[in-house]
């Protein structure tokens, strides 16, 4: 794919794509997932550590991308490791994004079915959602970036307002003692929290479209920094409000937390469903960015027009999204994808970077 001027995205757009990609359905379950392994209120420390680790990995990715500024990951890995191996790596990455897209769609459908539209079949919820995604992605990276620019402030502001409205049921005692069980549980918890940042890998693919590529380092630092603050805030407030035991017993701790308080005198009384409605947009943004990455990856591996794959991937996403039988297998599926992504993106960019250095020295 050529880097047409129309296909460039600005620095702020790249940052917003990164943030939106990371903030998704995961945050609704984050307090439980993060606390599960540790059983202490210190999960927020683990989240910060996880974020810092993610930043390091992301910086490695940027370093790798800087070697080939006018190619995407799908193209330059063939240069580094050869055609066959490169294609295999690309397909693995495509597979990851495909699973991620499907997962987001399904989680969205599950929560919507549970909180908003009881009795509506899952397929009916999924179909219009992915059709709109298709319509948008046909406009290319620029359309995606611009829609995300609209979604981002709305969702983030709403989320923050809703979380802060719940401060009256917050109790600091629930967070104490800090480091009461030492550092060990935090180290145990870091992998789980690091997984919650999955999504920043998209920098491998969108780096090529950046207008000011020299700012990519800043982009990933801010792009991961914002979710880091977000996650920490959420964890502190929600564990503080529900306590560790309370968080563990809830499927959707964030929604439970919001249901836990009531604001009277306003037009709305309950904010949990409302937050979910708004958050659907955030899930949508993760979905379309992954979707875009899948279609572009396939187009570049098979050297065909991207449009074919936009249409062709749609039923595949639908089928994968319909595969998990119930919400537990969905969560298992999600955990598996995160681990797969962590292994994939924790190792491959670093190795590729090394290889490219070696290659450069030899020639």
Partner 1 sequence: MRWRGRKSSKRVQNESLQPHAAANPDHQPISGSILADLAAVKESIGHNSDVRFREYRFGPDKIPIVVVYVAGLSDKELINDYIVNMLLMDGDGRHINNHELRDYLFDRAMPICELKEASTINSFTSSVMTGAAGLLVEGVAGGFTFGESQVLKRNMEEPPSESMVRGPRIGFIESLSHNTALLRRLAKTDSLAITSYQIGDRAKKEVAIAYISDIVDPKLLEEVKRRITRIKIDALQESGYIEQLIEDDFLSPFPQVQNTERPDRVLAAVLEGRVAIFLDGTPFALIAPVTFNMLLQTPEDYYERWMIGSLIRMLRYLTAFISLFTPAVYISFVSFHQGLIPTKLVFSIAASREGVPFPPLIEVLIMEVSIEILREAGLRLPKAIGQSIGIVGGLIIGEAAVQAGIVSPIMVIVVAVTAITSFSIPQYNAGIALRMLRFIAMFFAAVFGLYGVILFFLLLGAHLVKLKSFGMPYLSPVSPYRVKDWLDMIIRAPLFLMKKRPDQLQTKDQTRK
The footprint of partner 1 (CB under 8 A) covers 10, 12-13, 112, 116-117, 120, 125, 128-129, 132, 135-136, 139, 143, 145-147, 149-151, 264, 266-270, 273-274, 277-278, 280-281, 284
Query: Of the two residues 132 and 351, which places its CB atom closer to partner 1 in the complex?
Result: 132
CB 26 → partner 1: shortest distance, Å? 19
Residue at token pair 């572009």: 296
**Residues 312, 297: Cα–Cα separation, whole Å:** 13
CA distance 301 to 83: 10
Q: Which is nearer to partner 1, 123 or 302 (CB)?
A: 123
Q: Least distance from C-beta 223 to partner 1, angstroms? A: 15
Q: Which residue is it, tokens 């998209």?
A: 202
272, 226, 240, 254 alpha-carbon torsion, rounded to 10°: 20
Q: Using the minimum distance from each CB to partner 1, give the nearer residue, 114 or 344.
A: 114
Nearest distance in Å: CB 69, partner 1? 22
Token digits of residue 160: 């923050």
Residues 110 and 279: beta-carbon distance below 8 Å: no
Answer yes or no: are the C-beta atoms of 344 and 92 closer than 8 Å.
yes
Task: Give the nearer residue to partner 1 in terms of CB position, either 44 or 318.
Answer: 318
State the nearest-atom distance from the C-beta of 201 to partner 1, in Å.
24
In the complex with partner 1, the residue whose CB is nearer, 172 or 266, is 266
- What helix, strand, coil percent values describe the chain, rounded to 5? 80, 0, 20
Integer Cα distance of 259 and 256 in angstroms: 5
We find the least distance from the C-beta atom of residue 231 to partner 1, in angstroms, to be 24
């Amino acid at each position: 794919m050529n880097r047409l001027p129309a296909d460039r995205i600005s620095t702020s757009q790249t940052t917003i794509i990164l943030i939106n990609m990371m903030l998704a359905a995961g945050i609704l379950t984050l307090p439980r997932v993060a606390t599960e392994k540790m059983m202490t209120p210190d999960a927020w420390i683990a989240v910060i550590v996880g974020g810092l680790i993610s930043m390091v990995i992301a910086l490695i990715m940027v370093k790798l991308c800087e070697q080939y500024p006018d190619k995407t990951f799908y193209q330059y890995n063939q240069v580094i490791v050869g055609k066959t191996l490169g294609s295999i790596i690309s397909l693995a990455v495509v597979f990851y994004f495909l699973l991620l897209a499907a997962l987001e769609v399904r989680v969205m459908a599950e929560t919507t079915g549970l909180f908003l539209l009881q009795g509506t079949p899952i397929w009916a919820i999924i179909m219009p959602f992915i059709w709109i995604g298709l319509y948008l992605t046909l406009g290319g990276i620029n359309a995606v970036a611009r829609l995300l620019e609209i979604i981002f402030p709305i969702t983030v502001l709403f989320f923050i307002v809703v979380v802060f409205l719940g401060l009256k049921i917050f109790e600091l005692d629930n967070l104490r003692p800090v480091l009461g069980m030492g550092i060990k549980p935090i180290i145990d918890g870091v992998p789980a929290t690091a997984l919650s940042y999955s999504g920043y890998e998209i920098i491998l693919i969108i780096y090529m479209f950046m207008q000011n590529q020299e700012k990519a380092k800043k982009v990933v630092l801010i792009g991961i920094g914002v979710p880091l603050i977000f996650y920490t805030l959420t964890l502190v407030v929600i564990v503080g409000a529900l306590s560790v035991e309370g968080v563990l017993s809830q499927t959707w701790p964030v929604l439970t937390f919001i249901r836990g308080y009531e604001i009277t005198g306003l037009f709305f009384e309950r904010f949990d469903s409302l937050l979910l409605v708004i958050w659907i947009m955030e899930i949508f943004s993760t979905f379309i960015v992954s979707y875009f990455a899948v279609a572009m990856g396939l187009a570049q591996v098979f050297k065909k027009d991207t449009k074919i794959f936009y249409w062709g991937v749609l039923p595949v996403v639908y089928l994968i999204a319909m595969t998990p039988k119930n919400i537990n297998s969905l969560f298992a599926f999600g955990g598996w994808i995160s681990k797969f992504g962590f292994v994939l993106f924790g190792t491959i960019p670093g190795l590729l970077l090394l290889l490219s250095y070696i290659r450069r020295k030899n020639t």
